[in-house]
Amino acid sequence: MDASLVRIALGFGLMAALIYSVSASEVKDNSPKQILILASYNPGMKWEDNIISEIKLHFAMRMPSAAIRTEYMDSKRIAPDEERLEYLKGLYLQKYKDRHFDVILSADTDAFYFLLNNRDEIFPGAPVVFCGVVYFNEKMLEGKSGFTGVLESYDVKDTLALMFRLQPQTKHIIIVTDRTATGLAAKKIIDSTITEFAGNASFEYLDNVS
């Protein structure tokens, strides 16, 4: 199975468990459950499109009455700098000031960071299930409740070791990434490893071509 499909399956196995727990409360409360999907990027990003499709499929099968809303942070096309994040915070505060969500599902790193910093103010009490988070540290959740999810990880060391074993003549490696939160987090992971291979080849980042 493709690695991305494995991550989706794992992520939504967890989400299915959460959906079940929310479903149990419907015995006492017949009102439609309010679900928010916070996506880091924009429609057309294959990874997030797959995530959103899977979320909607799970709810359609297990809780068809659920009311699902999707918000796109558009962080691939608009840099999530301080001004942009404050704009989104103000927008969501105004848009959802009288709305309670039973669960928020976040896709990728930007959405996770945004909710980590703003959930309590914008969506107080709403549990968060995240996926696709890179460079996660458990300390991020200190003092936070109601956060759970699935991480995205890379085995950079073994990948490079295998590459040099198969292609020992390699002298220069180009790493294509981007300047999103996910791309920057991935760069941290790679940087922590490539020093071990400095004697094998030189490394160059291209972060403005995707």
- DSSP lists the bridge partners of residue 176 as 206
pLDDT tens sequence across 105-135: 998 889 999 999 999 999 998 999 888 887 7
125, 161: one domain: no
**124 and 187 assigned to the same domain:** no
Domain with residue 134: its CATH number is 3.40.50.2300
Do 108 and 183 belong to one domain? no
Radius of gyration of the chain measured on its C-alpha atoms:
19
pLDDT of 100 over the 70 cut: yes
pLDDT at 29: 63
Tell me: do 77 and 141 sit in the same domain.
yes
* Number of CB atoms found within 10 A of residue 188's CB: 10
Mean pLDDT of 131-142: 82
What per-residue confidence (pLDDT) applies to 23? 54
Examine the domain organization and report whether 70 and 114 are in the same domain: yes
Q: Are residues 134 and 194 in the same domain?
A: no
Domain that holds residue 11: 3-151
Judge whether 35 and 57 are in contact, CB under 8 Å: no
Q: How do residues 194-204 score in pLDDT, each as one tens digit? A: 888 888 889 99
Based on the fold, state whether residues 95 and 46 are members of the same structural domain.
yes
Overall domain count for the chain: 2
Residue where one domain finishes, among candidates 151, 170, 188: 151
Same domain, 147 and 192: no
Check whether residue 79 and residue 146 sit in a common domain. yes
pLDDT in tens, 30-83: 788 899 999 999 999 888 898 888 888 888 888 888 899 999 999 988 989 999
Do the Cβ atoms of 129 and 148 come closer than 8 Å?
A: yes
Distance, in Å, from the CA atom of 157 to the CA atom of 201, rounded to the nearest integer, reads 14
Q: Beta 103-107 vs 34-39: how paired, if at all?
A: parallel
Q: How confident is the model at residue 18 (pLDDT cuts 50, 70, 90)?
A: low
* Residues 63 and 97 placed together within one structural domain of the fold: yes
**Same structural domain for residues 79 and 117?**
yes
Residues 185 and 95 in one domain: no
| Residue 206 φ/ψ, nearest 5 degrees | -120, 110
Do the beta carbons of residue 71 and residue 37 sit within 8 Å? yes
Whole-prediction pTM: 0.75
Angle CA 91–179–135, to nearest 5: 90
